[in-house]
Amino acid sequence: MATLNVHNRSGEVLHEKSLSDSFTHAEVNTAVVHQCVVAYLANQRSGTASTKSRSEVTGSGKKLYRQKGTGRSRAGDAGSPLRVRGGVTFGPKPRSYRQRTPKQVRRLGLKSALADRFRNEQCILIEDFTLERPRTKDIVSVLNALNLDGKVLFVLGENEPNIYLSLRNIPKVNCCTWNMLNIYQVLWHDKLVLTERAAENLEAKFVDSEG
């Protein structure tokens, strides 16, 4: 069992919490992590880039001038890709970049990413907390108390609108609930701050899946 300190909002250690080794020290499958990240980034692409071919541009299809006797090169209609305002040769068309990744592969990728964060001591546990009203200063004080800077992700046990509203104006600081966590978020942020409930839910999710 891995033992981690649980802090309060003032940065003080309240108690220790034990988490299963199969969750915090699972084998990191780098190939699966790479596959999941590539698929995630591909799925963010809108695929709306579009150009017009020579048959779609505005203009007459009439031959511009006769074939021979002008001393100039042969020319077809004004929509030729060789001419200004002509069509585009082999240009992009709307398409889907979506990659389907099996659920078990996504689960393994997220588990590997979290295990890597635990191994490198980039996960901090904090007591479950709420805010009575949105106040950015409260989140800043938590970050200072835990000595956190850079890119930080708060992983919550349940949806807390006031916490989200309090940190959305802080650059590179984000939050999500444990069931909406994805592998790209884990890898993009430098530090993860997990509430006790979030850590318990994630542990149950991955340990139960093994059984």
pLDDT at 9: 92
CATH 3.40.1370.10 positions along the chain are 2-45+102-210
Q: List, in sequence order, the alpha helices (H) in the chain.
A: 21-24, 30-43, 103-119, 136-145, 161-167, 183-188, 196-210
| Interatomic CA distance for residues 134 and 165, integer angstroms | 6
Of the candidates 120, 40, 59, 56, the residue with the CA atom closest to the CA atom of residue 89: 56
Report domain 2-45+102-210's class.
alpha beta
The stretch 94-100 carries a mean pLDDT of 96
The stretch 157-181 carries a mean pLDDT of 95
Tell me how far CA of residue 194 lies from CA of 59, 98, 136, in angstroms. Answer: 61, 30, 19
Compute the C-alpha angle 157/192/112, nearest 5°.
95
User: Higher model confidence: residue 180 or residue 1?
Assistant: 180
pLDDT band at 2; cut points 50, 70, 90? confident
